[in-house]
Amino acid sequence: MSFFAIFLAALVALLHVYIFYLEMFAWERPRTRKSFGTSEEFAKSTKALAANQGLYNGFLAAGLIWGLAAAKADVVVFFLLCVAVAGIYGAISSSRKILFIQTVPALVALVAVVWV
């Protein structure tokens, strides 16, 4: 993998560490609610669901970090594909903005890993 590909994949991993934090630990905070467009009541009633979703984002980040640390391009490709698919599903089921926040960066990093 090139330095550029590693850098892009690492950015995707860091993004998912941040999403993990927001969904697991900061779900009810005003700034997080604003980011996700949720009300205080909704955040309270969905705290457990958000934490579950955050855990999955943490696993995506962990997989990318593992692949990068082990210099295993196939592992990085797998987890970038997982991120892209999760983003597509999120865009269809929740908000189109997820496509640009999650899927596009994953696909750009994927292209860099595979072809650069």
Name the DSSP class of 26. S
Q: Tell me the pLDDT tens digit for each residue of 52-85.
A: 999 999 999 999 999 999 999 999 999 999 999 9
Beta carbons of 90 and 53 less than 8 angstroms apart: no
Residue-number span of the structural domain to which 94 is assigned: 3-115
**How many helices and strands, by DSSP H and E, does the chain display?**
7, 0
The predicted structure's pLDDT at residue 116? 76
Tokens, residue 58 = 């943490």
Largest pairwise CA distance in the chain: 46
Which pLDDT band, with edges at 50, 70 and 90, does 38 fall under? Answer: very high
The number of distinct structural domains making up the chain is 1
CA 103 to CA 31: how far, in whole Å?
23
Name the DSSP class of 53. H
